[in-house]
Amino acid sequence: KAGLSASLTASGTMAVCEELGISLAVTCGMGGVGQIKAEQICVDLPALASIPVALLASSPKDMLDIPATIRWLTDRNVHVAGPACTGWVFNGDPVPVPETWADYPDADTICQAAKEDGLLLLNPIPAERRIQDRTILAAAIEAGLREEAAGGDYHPAANTEIHRLTDGYSARLQLQAFIDNLHLAKSL
């Protein structure tokens, strides 16, 4: 009603999980280190370092600096596990992560790591399902920066541009990735 964003960040989801005694939060894309004025360090990162809830995500978002994001987390001893991070809804260069899923074989191990130092589990969208045209990402970044310069919010403008340029495929891709992550979390 107020015309404000109703999105809930990964950090917000983690905070709700902590309050409810849930040890694993699930999302699709997450924040990180980037050029967005309002969040050069997204609140998702300090949340991973301080909230004793593990986060299952597909990847930091493509418009962010993924190597700097992984480095920020590991520099603060947050466990990051999964295959090399190659992007979120677009394919990018592989960024190694220090741990694998095999390091977290059960719920007890996941909970312990989240409580001790924080834990990010990466479950990437399969490369063949991702958006192949990276010019769409460049256009989305420009749209976000224009909106931010005009006093608006970066993410809604960037996401709207990706949605428009993919005829809604990006929204379906993100929804399916979120559902896939929910199923994986349930199996844990």
**Residues 155-188: pLDDT tens digits?**
889 999 999 999 999 999 999 999 999 999 999 8
Check if the beta carbon of residue 45 is closer than 8 Å to that of residue 72.
Answer: yes
Q: pLDDT, tens digit, for every residue of 39-65?
A: 688 889 999 999 999 999 999 999 999
Nearest to 181 by CA among 36, 12, 58: 58
Q: Are strands 24-26 and 29-30 parallel, antiparallel or unpaired?
A: unpaired
Per-residue model confidence (pLDDT) at position 48: 96
Tokens of 44: 């998702």
Angle between helices 154-165 and 135-149 (to 10 degrees): 150
Residue 105 reports pLDDT greater than 80 = yes
Tokens of 172: 């379906």
* Mean pLDDT of the 76-80 span: 97
Tell me how far CA of residue 11 lies from CA of 3, 58, 77, 95, in angstroms.
Answer: 22, 15, 18, 22
| Percent of the chain whose pLDDT exceeds 90 | 87
The mean predicted confidence, pLDDT, of the chain is: 93
Residue 22 reports pLDDT greater than 60 = yes
Other beta carbons less than 10 A from residue 7's beta carbon: 10
Sole residue written with tokens 């976000």: 144
Q: Cα-Cα-Cα-Cα dihedral of 165, 89, 44, 73, to 10°?
A: -140
Residue 1 reports pLDDT greater than 70 = no
Reported pTM: 0.91
